[in-house]
Amino acid sequence: MREPEELLRKYGPWALVTGAAQGIGAEFAEQIGAAGLNLVLVDIDADRLREVCHSLRERYPVEIRPIVLDLRREDLLDSLLPEVEGLEVGLLVNNAGIAKVGPFLPQERGFLLDQLHVNTRAVLLLTHAFGSEMKTRGRGGILVVSSGAAWVGSALNANYAASKAWDLIFAESLWAELGEFGIDVLGFMPTSTDTATLWRHTPNAPKASVMSVEATVRSALHALGRQPSWFAGRLNRIAFRVLRSVLPRSLLIRFVSRSLRGMSNRPATSSDER
Ligand SMILES: NC(=O)c1ccc[n+]([C@@H]2O[C@H](COP(=O)([O-])OP(=O)(O)OC[C@H]3O[C@@H](n4cnc5c(N)ncnc54)[C@H](OP(=O)(O)O)[C@@H]3O)[C@@H](O)[C@H]2O)c1
């Protein structure tokens, strides 16, 4: 558990969280706000974002600036940066992501590109913009929310898993590069976490293995500044390490594919068994 004062001292006074209107992002806002950092909260969903801000304002004496913005926008930085001009953003949480479980070929190309734009392009642009300011100040923290899916390919998850692998390698690389400027970077891999999006895509996820948003976010904030990347959940870490070390890559991919078919209510196929 990280002391809230440490979060404020290392990364204050402002944090920017994307995808903050619900799920893991709303919990990042909760825990970072509780630590005393002012919040810039970005999301596409205006109503939910308003509710989150209202609830936080009632409980924490911090400044909160909601920004309703579509992270897919071509002019993303031109739209966002004027809204945060003059704010010292010392903590960037690239949380927003688009998940979808389903076969690759029937998906619309437009959707697949949207997924890449939110999961990777927006992360790239925000990290470049805010990272440059952090470098000038000689301090800061950048958290990139990847996924356990980044570790291995899987049927029904091609674009998402690949985008999350990009997130992970991007963050680990910047961890190695930006540390000398006083900037902590973390590639964070949640596994199944109790959000509406999780249950929409994987209704059969085994409940015992699903983490609360509270535990997932606590784990991320604890690992920032201590690791280049971090997998949420001790048992998950052990299970993935064991599976990776005992199974050949092809079997591992089939194993994960079969699990995902089961969790998303789709029948196994012959390619899972080969
Ligand atoms: N939950 C899990 O089990 C799990 C596991 C591994 C990794 N993750 C990762 O953790 C992060 C958060 O997951 P979550 O389950 O909390 O997601 P979530 O509940 O779907 O919340 C994501 C938020 O981001 C917003 N968003 C989506 N597209 C956007 C856009 N173009 N511009 C601005 N905001 C946008 C969503 O708004 P709308 O809903 O209105 O689109 C939503 O409010 C994601 O990166 C996800 O990939 C989650």
Residue ranges per structural domain of the chain: 4-235
Confidence at residue 141, expressed as pLDDT on a 0 to 100 scale: 98
Q: How confident is the model at residue 144 (pLDDT cuts 50, 70, 90)?
A: very high
Phi, psi of 239, deg, nearest 5? -60, -45
What is the pLDDT, as a whole number, of residue 271? 62
Ligand 1 center–CA 96 separation, angstroms:
5
Ligand 1 atom nearest 148 alpha carbon: 6
Q: Which of 40, 47, 197, 213 gets mutated to test ligand 1 (max ligand atoms within 8 A of its CB)? A: 197
Ligand 1, residue 192: give the atom nearest the CA: 3
| Whole-number pLDDT of residue 123 | 99
State the CB neighbour count (10 A cutoff) for residue 122: 25
Torsion angle of alpha carbons 49, 85, 138, 218, nearest 10°? Answer: -10
1 pLDDT band (50/70/90 cuts)?
Answer: low
Which pLDDT band, with edges at 50, 70 and 90, does 160 fall under? Answer: very high
Pocket test for ligand 1, best of 17, 24, 98 (most atoms within 8 A of CB): 24
Amino acid identity, position 124: L
Query: Which letter, b or e, does each residue of 171-206 get, where b requires 16 or more Cβ atoms within 10 Å of its Cβ?
Result: bbebbeebeeeebbbbbbbbbbbbbebbeebbeebe
* Ligand 1 centre distance from Cα of residue 104 (Å): 20
Class of domain 4-235: alpha beta
What is the whole-number distance in angstroms between the Cα of residue 257 and the centre of ligand 1? 22
CA of 121 to the centre of ligand 1 (A): 15
Q: Is 274's pLDDT higher than 70?
A: no
Question: At residue 187, does pLDDT exceed 90?
Answer: yes
Is the distance from CB of 164 to CB of 151 less than 8 angstroms? no
Rounded to an integer, the average pLDDT of 3-9 is: 90
pLDDT computed for residue 175 by the predictor:
98
Q: Sort residue 25 into left (φ over 0), alpha (ψ -120 to 50) or beta.
A: alpha
Q: Rounded mean pLDDT of 192-221?
A: 97
pLDDT, position 251: 96
Average pLDDT, the chain: 96
What pLDDT is stored for residue 4 in this prediction?
79
Cα separation, 48 vs 54, in Å, equals 10
Residues paired with 92 in a beta bridge: 16, 142
- Are the C-beta atoms of 34 and 58 separated by less than 8 Å? no
CA angle 69, 70, 74 (to 5 degrees): 115
Atom of ligand 1 nearest to the CA of 25: 16
Q: 206-214: long-range contacts at Cβ-Cβ below 8 A with a sequence spacing of 24 or more?
A: 206/263, 209/235, 209/236, 213/23, 213/24, 213/26, 213/27, 214/27, 214/31
Q: What is the pLDDT of residue 209?
A: 92
What is the pTM assigned to this prediction?
0.97
- pLDDT at 186 exceeding the cut of 70: yes
Backbone dihedral region for residue 205 (phi beyond 0: left; psi -120 to 50: alpha; all else: beta): beta
pLDDT tier for residue 6 given thresholds of 50, 70 and 90: very high
pLDDT at 79 over 60: yes
pLDDT at 25: 98
List ligand 1's pocket residues with C-beta within 6 A.
19, 21-25, 43-45, 70-72, 95-99, 118, 145, 147-148, 190, 192-193, 195-198
